[in-house]
Amino acid sequence: MGRKYMRLDVERERYSTLLATIELGNTIEDIRPFQKKPGSAGWIAIEENLFRALGSDAGRQEGLRLFNVLGYADRYMESLSSKRKWEQALSAEKLGRINCRGAVPNLMDSLKSPNRDLQLMAIHSLGVIGDETAIPPLVALLKQSVAAEEEISLTVLKSSILAFGQNAVMWLVPCLNDPDWRMRSTVLDVLGEIGDRRLSGEFMRMLKDTEQDVRAKAAKGIGKLKCREAVPMLMEALADQFWVVRLHSARSLGLMKEPVAIAPLTEMLGDKNWQVRSVVAEAMSRIGGRAFVEMLNVFIDSTDKYARDQALDELGRKGVYAKLMARLYAGNGPEPPLKLNESPKTDDKVDVDREILDEMLSVLSTLNDFRLYEVLDALSGGKGGEANEEAARAVSELKGRERTAPGPERPTGIIS
């Protein structure tokens, strides 16, 4: 073995100029010096250099051509029927790497192989090559894998089918009527990733499916498609008995930044499932605007501890306190002015309009001194010390602005 590897190192060095030539974008006119016996040290060394060349934009096309004219592609196709299982799988993987369209029929035959590794590599390589004739057998195999609950095969199949993009849609849509809800759910997941806006109607239809997992995938896909006509259906789905449906419905409403969804989302801040509460708060932050006012009102007034905690957590995570203070002092107080999209307390930045900040400050100004101090201290992080002093200064400043503001103009008069 030592002699074998020494010989291989010599051959690698000998043919290193091949790689350099290809990477420069040059064509190898005379291929005779590179024609070697399959499996020999020279064969392996040239193969390694050609695979490296595929990583170069300039050398990729010439590298692919040499894989074919030097007989590597033919060798890989022959090895698909080798008696050694590892060699079968490795050959299938290499055929994908060299984008060998001539091997598509062989790879499709390999989908029926009892050799699981070969089958998985064939699935992967068919997706890499992208020949559309492979879509029907891949979708058929997807159905078998769903029925057998083969998680590994499902993952590879979904990835491979996704590689075909919109070309796979016509083969997948009929599967939405499959009697097996697991197939409907899986196909919705793939179609959502493909993101064809023309499928909005199908996703809306599936949002009424009898199976909860299908409804959840439909809600998730609607958000990816930005299907605004489905907003009323998503708001209805916030009341679904299955928490994952509620979660994806809330997330999709946030992705579409629909202000009309603020009211129903506010009610969901107290959902019995903590994951739903978290996603609802994130969705409200994405929508922005009055959603921040509503979260502040929930924190101040709600009797639901879960809702209060979730609202406070999201307001703190978005650095709203620092923005309120920047707006309150507005360049003429003890605090330096801050830009509205800056937050010294968090890296998760979000912009808040001045009008919204003014409205939030107006809400705060209606509280008595003790309650106002409590709220500001909580919004600042409630860490005591410097944070408490800052909250105390804010109380004094806010109440002072309120007292000096003329009656009719109080909501804006508290801000300089």
Rounded Cα–Cα distance for residues 56 and 127 (Å): 21
Q: What is the pLDDT of residue 407?
A: 46
pLDDT average, residue stretch 136-165: 93
- Name the pTM for this structure: 0.79
Are residues 200 and 227 in contact, defined by beta-carbon separation less than 8 angstroms? yes
**For the chain, domain boundaries:** 1-70, 78-194
129-146 tens-digit pLDDT: 999 999 999 999 999 999
Rounded Cα–Cα distance for residues 264 and 259 (Å): 10
Q: Which two tokens stand for residue 24?
A: 């420069």
Instruction: Assign 401 a pLDDT band (cuts: 50, 70, 90).
Output: low
Q: What is the pLDDT of residue 19?
A: 84
> What would you measure as the largest C-alpha separation in the chain, in angstroms?
95
pLDDT average, residue stretch 34-55: 91
Q: Euclidean distance between the first and final Cα of the chain, in Å?
A: 82
Q: What are phi and psi of 195, to 5 degrees?
A: 75, 40
Higher pLDDT, 373 or 166: 166
Q: What is the pLDDT of residue 269?
A: 94
Higher pLDDT, 375 or 96: 96
Residue 221 has pLDDT above 70, yes or no: yes
Dihedral of the alpha carbons of 287, 298, 319, 396, in degrees to the nearest 10: 130
309-320 tens-digit pLDDT: 999 999 988 888
For the chain, give the percent of residues with pLDDT over 70. Answer: 86
Q: What is the pLDDT of residue 167?
A: 95
CATH no., domain 78-194: 1.25.10.10
Q: What is the pLDDT of residue 335?
A: 43
Rounded Cα–Cα distance for residues 254 and 398 (Å): 32
Are residues 299 and 258 in contact, defined by beta-carbon separation less than 8 angstroms? no
What is the separation of C-alpha 263 from the centre of its chain, rounded to a whole number of angstroms? 27
Residue 336 has pLDDT above 50, yes or no: no
Q: What is the 3-state secondary structure (H, E, C) of the chain?
A: CHHHHHHHHHHHHHCHHHHHHHHCCCCCCCCHHHCCCCCCHHHHHHHHHHHHHCCCCCCHHHHHHHHHHCCHHHHHHHHCCCCCHHHHHHHHHHHHHCCCHHHHHHHHHHCCCCCHHHHHHHHHHHHHHCCHHHHHHHHHHHHHHHHHCCHHHHHHHHHHHHCCHHHHHHHHHHHHHCCCHHHHHHHHHHHHHHCCHHHHHHHHHHCCCCCHHHHHHHHHHHHHHCCHHHHHHHHHHCCCCCHHHHHHHHHHHHHCCCHHHHHHHHHHHHCCCHHHHHHHHHHHHHHCCHHHHHHHHHHHHCCCHHHHHHHHHHHHHCCHHHHHHHHHHCCCCCCCCCCCCCCCCCCCCCCCCHHHHHHHHHHHHCCCHHHHHHHHHHHCCCCCCHHHHHHHHHHHHHHHHHHHCCHHHHHHHCCC
Rounded Cα–Cα distance for residues 174 and 186 (Å): 13
Q: What rounded mean pLDDT belongs to the chain?
A: 86
Q: What are phi and psi of 328, to 5 degrees?
A: -65, -50
Burial class (CB in 10 A: 0-12, 13-18, 19+), 29: exposed
Instruction: Assign 361 a pLDDT band (cuts: 50, 70, 90).
Output: confident
